[in-house]
Chain A
């Protein structure tokens, strides 16, 4: 790279000079959603350290503490800020651990979908011919069905194919696989499109002339040039992946109840809605909504900021 002027400055000041930072610091909504997202991620990652109770340690659970309303409601216990559920687990701690599972599944399935989609798109675009036609035909068929339906189906199939205790042990990975597989097409199409453009450029020709293998050209020359839009799609899809996991878990076919995610917590709370214990549902629900909303707003901002044509 020949931008020697920029290189002389430190990376921090270069970042502060960039268009990206300018559009970020001039959009209050984006700043707020970044703070909310960071706070939620922080709380989730640090849950084992900062959660006031350990909701999965059976020794500290006391059924006498069950159904405590939030601390500020009459009858609430200041020990349990957001109240407790049917087993006497502290809601605040349970939500922090639940957010941990939700974010973990969200991130992993986005990465899985991204790797799968980018690989297939790169191969389809670069190799062309029959490979391209077959891969894109599969993508078309996949697009005929809504992602959530594909995830449900994959999950159901794996559930039927595996013996029960094995499935319970790897259920988390099954969900990640199901959501990832239902979501790779967008990456593949985008990467294929940009690869088709890139592969006719001179640097690819030059790489061929000096005798590099196709694999080498694809991975170390074309790939870096087609990754830009992929990161935007990944951010936008993170919100979807978190929602998909919550939906699967709510339907009772997602992560196992021993590792409750936010969706599982809402499912559990749903049983107590009619007896008036609204906090068991509402707080995980608010957390989930905040998480998805902030991630979606960040994704929208990133898309607009990196694409000057949309301004």
Chain B
């Protein structure tokens, strides 16, 4: 077990190293921070002094290690546009994105798994066909269009739900939460449905396919022959054995959810990291982009690691083979 974790960590290191190298190269070579920070009026002496202060006269690798050292301590420099520390900006926005992403992931699982089980068990019923049609549309409609249509129906036409922002939030230390106020919860409904819909259809199709596969196996036939109730067969034996791929895909999709939060946050003007990032992209605000890249990479590496560990815990058959080989 311990050896497995260590080997996984060693595989994650090159990823993080590459990403930080890219992130630093962006920082160092794209755009001219000195020109941006000095503004219009400056003397050559001021320019040289600033270059020395920022360490830009040092060799590439010295600068890179300086950058890494700061990054490990959570320091990513100042935003060009907002002139505030990037780490503060991201920390301030993180709760909004994380609350949205986890609510969306929860919705996707809580609705997707039962729908998948149902469509797997009753293949021919009209409700199954209806679910499958819905899921096909869910896959083909872009996230932002779903958001816009939801706004059109529930905010513009019916006027029952807010169309933008987080509503009132409560601060708990540095974390601000929308879970504790009525307006915060109402504001969460449309964005989380928008964000979770694609993952929900994906999970539904996956569970359905796995259920169909498992229901054909001999041990299910044997369980039925033993006279077990339908419920025991379906949930105790069939569903349990579909869970390995579901855990993997859900874990990996958590990363996709956080990436797609960029789109959802733009549609709903949700004050999260995604909105910060997209504003940075359109303004060429490199420090924010670089920091966001590092953070997302770290998040993905952690998610992959956790998924691998869950794999290892859920399926005893994999313990021998997985530890040695790369996925």
Indicate, yes or no, whether A interacts with B: yes
Residues of chain A contacted by B31 (CB below 8 angstroms): 160-161
A266-306 vs B, Cβ < 8 Å mask (1 yes, 0 no): 10001001101010011001001100110011000000000
Decide: A288 near B145, CB < 8 A? Known: A153-B289, A273-B152: yes
Judged by DSSP, the binding face of A is helix
In the complex, the answer to whether A253 meets B141 with C-beta atoms within 8 Å is: no
Residues of chain A contacted by B30 (CB below 8 angstroms): 157, 160-161
Q: Which of B108-116, B186-194, B243-251, B255-263 contacts A (4 or more CB under 8 A)?
A: B255-263
In the complex, the answer to whether B149 meets A251 with C-beta atoms within 8 Å is: no
Residues of chain B contacted by A197 (CB below 8 angstroms): none
Q: Which residue of chain B has the shortest Cβ distance to A246 in the bound complex? A: B142
Q: How many residues of B contact A (CB 8 A)?
A: 44
Q: How large is the interface on A (under 10, 10 to 19, 20 to 34, 35 or more residues)?
A: 35 or more
In the complex, the answer to whether A273 meets B300 with C-beta atoms within 8 Å is: no
Query: CA–CA, A68 to B86, complex, Å?
Result: 45
Q: Which of A47-55, A87-95, A142-150, A208-216 contacts B (4 or more CB under 8 A)?
A: A142-150
Q: Which of A141, A155, A292 contacts B142 (CB 8 A)?
A: A292
Q: Which residue of chain B has the shortest Cβ distance to A292 in the bound complex? A: B140
In the complex, the answer to whether A266 meets B140 with C-beta atoms within 8 Å is: no
Decide: A251 near B262, CB < 8 A? Known: A144-B15, A146-B255, A266-B148: yes
Decide: A156 near B263, CB < 8 A? Known: A253-B278, A292-B142: no
In the complex, the answer to whether B281 meets A144 with C-beta atoms within 8 Å is: no
Query: CA–CA, A137 to B91, complex, Å?
Result: 32
In the complex, the answer to whether B278 meets A251 with C-beta atoms within 8 Å is: yes
Q: Which of A144, A247, A297 contacts B297 (CB 8 A)?
A: A144
Tell me which residues from 265 to 286 in chain B have a Cβ below 8 Å from any Cβ of chain A: 266-267, 277-278, 280-282, 284, 286
Q: Which of A148, A157, A239, A296 contacts B259 (CB 8 A)?
A: A148
Smallest CB separation, B325 vs chain A (Å) = 13
Smallest CB separation, B36 vs chain A (Å) = 11
In the complex, the answer to whether B281 meets A152 with C-beta atoms within 8 Å is: yes
A191-230 vs B, Cβ < 8 Å mask (1 yes, 0 no): 0000000000000000000000000000000000000000
- List 10 tightest A-B contacts by C-beta distance, closest first: A156-B281, A160-B284, A293-B140, A146-B259, A149-B259, A160-B30, A292-B140, A146-B256, A250-B144, A285-B145
Told that A160-B284, A247-B143 touch, could you supply 5 new A-B pairs with CB distance under 8 A? A144-B300, A152-B278, A153-B289, A156-B284, A273-B152
9 A-B pairs with CB atoms under 8 Å apart are A144-B304, A149-B262, A157-B30, A160-B289, A246-B144, A250-B144, A263-B142, A282-B152, A296-B140
